[in-house]
Structure formats: C-alpha cells, structure tokens
Amino acid sequence: MSEESDSLRTSPSAASLSENELPPTAEPAGYVCSLTEELVTKAREELQEKPEWRLRDVQALRDMVRKEYPNLSTSLEDAFLLRFLRARKFDYDRALQLLINYHSCRRSWPEVFSNLRPSALKEVLASGFLTVLPHTDPRGCHILCIRPDRWIPNNYPITENIRAIYLTLEKLIQSEETQVNGIVILADYKGVSLSKASHFGPFIAKKVIGILQDGFPIRIKAVHVVNEPRIFKGIFAIIKPFLKEKIANRFFLHGSDLNSLHTNLPRNILPKEYGGTAGELDITAWNAVLLASEEDFVREFCQPVPACDSILGQALPPEGLTSDAPCDDSMRAVKSQLYSCY
C-alpha cells in the first residue's frame, strides 16, 4: 500500500534564499537524528523531510505555536515537534493543527487521559488485551496486537482498554523509526460476543477514531482483522462512518484464513497463535517496556494542567471529540445495529 502524496509543505524553500546562501546542515546539540541512511531516504521520499532543512522546519513550527498559542502548555523540543511534522508531511499548518488537536483530545476526555501511567493499568496489561510483537513487518512497521476477547467487562470499563492503547502508542511514537515507518494493527476478534461488542458504541467509536485520525502523530499503515465473527459486520458498521477513505481502505478482514493474513504479514514475524513461526505470543516483554517508562508518563500525564491552557477552548477538537453529550448512544440502538448482522 503506497502512501498517497499530500500537498506540498508550506515551508521555506531554497528559492527563498539568495543564490549564495546555503541551507543549514548542522543539527543543534538538543537533537541528534537516529534514522539510518535508508530511513532518511524513505523520509525524504514519503514525508518530504529534507535533513538539510529539518531544523528550519522545526523552528518554523515552534514560532507558529509561540505566536498563535502563546499560553499552550506543550513541549517545544525539536524531537517532539518533529513527530507532528512527519505525521503531516512537513506541512506547517497541518502539523500545527495536529499538535493543537493532540492537546485538545487530552483535555476533552479526562476519563482516559487523567493519571495515564503504566502502573495504573497493570490489570489491563496483565490480561493480554494488547501487546506489541517483537518483530516488525517487512516495511519496518511495529505490529500492535489487540485481543478484545481478553477483556472482561465486569472487571473494568472499556475506557481502561483505550487508556492502554494510547499508552502504547505514546511509547511507540518516541522512536524516530516508528515516526517514519508507521505501525500496523493486528486485531483478533475471536470470541467477541454481542454483549461485549455493545460497549463499543458510536460515542466511544467516534472519539477513538477522532484521536487516531486527527489527534495523534502516528501513521497507521494497515489494520488486519482476524477471526472476526459475524457480529463484526455490526461493529464495522458503527466504525466506518467515522473513517476517512484512506484509513478505511487500509482495513483488511481475513476471517479465519491465516493464509490471507500471511500475504501481508509473513509467518516468520508472527507468533504461532496466528500461524507463525516466531514462537508463542509473549506479552511480558512489552509490559516490561511500558512499566519501565513509569516516570516518563508521570511527568507527561500526571501533572496539573495550567489555568492558562484554557486557550485550547478556542481550538475545536477533531470532530467527535467533544465529550459532553452521549450523541444518542443508547444501548438499544447499538444492539439493534449489531443484531442486524445475524
């Protein structure tokens, strides 16, 4: 699946310089690029990232934040801002909007983002609801494996699962490799019942998809769904209206046909649970990675929000992320939609 090209970046170009002036080439002491030469080339071709212009691009975004949102409580470090530039192919305006959306999302859904740290989600992590596989796919994408059947609704609400997903995405996006390559999601819907599916109604679906599409700096390259029961037609009917066409086209439903899955994700990178040869699915390694990052998450998500951050009230969050009204999400309406797939 090739990444479709976006509009050209709205950034300074070589034409704006005098003939004798060269673009800056040295990185500041605060940022050291960790990309391999291969990934530098990939970033140039797919994301329009030019190493010789990288610092100028970051400074331009930093200046925009300071001018348009001077009271926004956000990191302005090079490495942090680069996440947003890469996610929007170095288009300054779109990168700025993504940054604002990112913070708006966090303010608009306190049930998910308050006290967001690994130690608060030990039960979810121990359940095996999600993990990151140890091997990347042939394009270098990390594979986030989600298994909804591991969730027992009586133990904790669905928002705890969403917290665990967001926590994992935050950890993954720290890697420049992931910023360039993106991620793949492998969702195993084996054993998902009607009663469990009904927890994921339009209100929750709209908010989660709004974050993933417009409120987080990550590139989702594919979503592979396996072992989906007939009920998944109802689940997907709830999700699809909120998906952009580009993302909707990246959903692949394989059912129980693992050979179909293997045409996209080779057997040598998959655990034996999915017909692979990479051993049994192990959740302990990724859980250890997250738990070792406790202090980072405490600094980022467990501090009081400054009062001046009310400036975000002027910036509307992505569609579907306003948190007050339940958007007529009655359980009866959700179940009737799900029943229709039988």
Q: What is the pLDDT of residues 156-185, one digit of tens each?
A: 999 999 999 999 999 999 999 999 999 999
- Distance from CA of residue 143 to its chain's centroid? 12
- Residue 252 is predicted with a pLDDT of 94
Q: What is the pLDDT of residues 305-328, one digit of tens each?
A: 655 555 555 454 554 454 444 444
Among the listed residues 263, 241, 245, 246, the one whose alpha carbon sits nearest the alpha carbon of residue 254: 263
Q: What's the token pair of residue 26?
A: 């040295």
Q: Whole-angstrom Cα distance, residue 174 to residue 142?
A: 13
Q: What's the token pair of residue 170?
A: 């935050």
Per-residue pLDDT averaged across 69-73, rounded?
95
Q: What is the 3-state secondary structure (H, E, C) of the chain?
A: CCCCCCCCCCCCCHHHCCCCCCCCCCCCCCCCCCCCHHHHHHHHHHHCCCHHHHHHHHHHHHHHHHHHCCCCCCCCCHHHHHHHHHHCCCCHHHHHHHHHHHHHHHHHCHHHHCCCCHHHHHHHHHHCCEEECCCCCCCCCEEEEECHHHCCCCCCCHHHHHHHHHHHHHHHCCCHHHHHHCEEEEEECCCCCHHHHCCCCHHHHHHHHHHHHHCCCCCEEEEEEECCCCCHHHHHHHHHHHCCHHHHCCEEEEECCHHHHHCCCCHHHCCHHHCCCCCCCCCHHHHHHHHCCHHHHHHHHCCCCCHHHHHHHHCCCCCCCCCCCCCCCCHHHHHHHHHCCC
Decide which of 4 and 216 is more confident. Answer: 216
- Residue 280 is predicted with a pLDDT of 96
Q: How confident is the model at residue 212 (pLDDT cuts 50, 70, 90)?
A: very high
pLDDT tops 90 at residue 147: yes
Which of 49-53, 83-87, 185-189, 190-194 has the weakest average pLDDT?
A: 190-194
Per-residue pLDDT averaged across 326-333, rounded?
42
Q: What is the pLDDT of residues 77-115, one digit of tens each?
A: 999 999 999 999 999 999 999 999 999 999 999 999 999
Q: What is the mean pLDDT of the chain?
A: 84
Q: What percent of the chain has pLDDT over 90?
A: 69
Q: How confident is the model at residue 234 (pLDDT cuts 50, 70, 90)?
A: confident
Q: What's the token pair of residue 242?
A: 């909120």
Torsion angle (degrees, nearest 10) of CA 236, 241, 244, 247: 0
Q: For the structural domain made of 37-108, what CATH number should be given? A: 1.10.8.20
Decide which of 4 and 158 is more confident. Answer: 158
- Residue 302 is predicted with a pLDDT of 79
- Residue 105 is predicted with a pLDDT of 94
Residue spans in the chain of domains classed CATH 1.10.8.20:
37-108
Instruction: State the first-to-last Cα distance of the chain, in angstroms, to the nearest integer.
Output: 32
- Residue 309 is predicted with a pLDDT of 54
- Residue 305 is predicted with a pLDDT of 60
pLDDT tops 90 at residue 120: yes
Residue spans in the chain of domains classed CATH 3.40.525.10:
114-297
Per-residue pLDDT averaged across 36-58, rounded?
97
Q: Whole-angstrom Cα distance, residue 99 to residue 76?
A: 11
pLDDT tops 70 at residue 232: yes
- Residue 9 is predicted with a pLDDT of 46
Which residue is associated with the tokens 């291969």?
38
Q: Whole-angstrom Cα distance, residue 205 to residue 241?
A: 10
CATH superfamily membership of 114-297: CRAL-TRIO lipid binding domain (3.40.525.10)
Decide which of 136 and 240 is more confident. Answer: 136
Task: With beta carbons less than 8 A apart as the criterion, state whether 48 and 90 touch.
Answer: yes
- Residue 211 is predicted with a pLDDT of 95
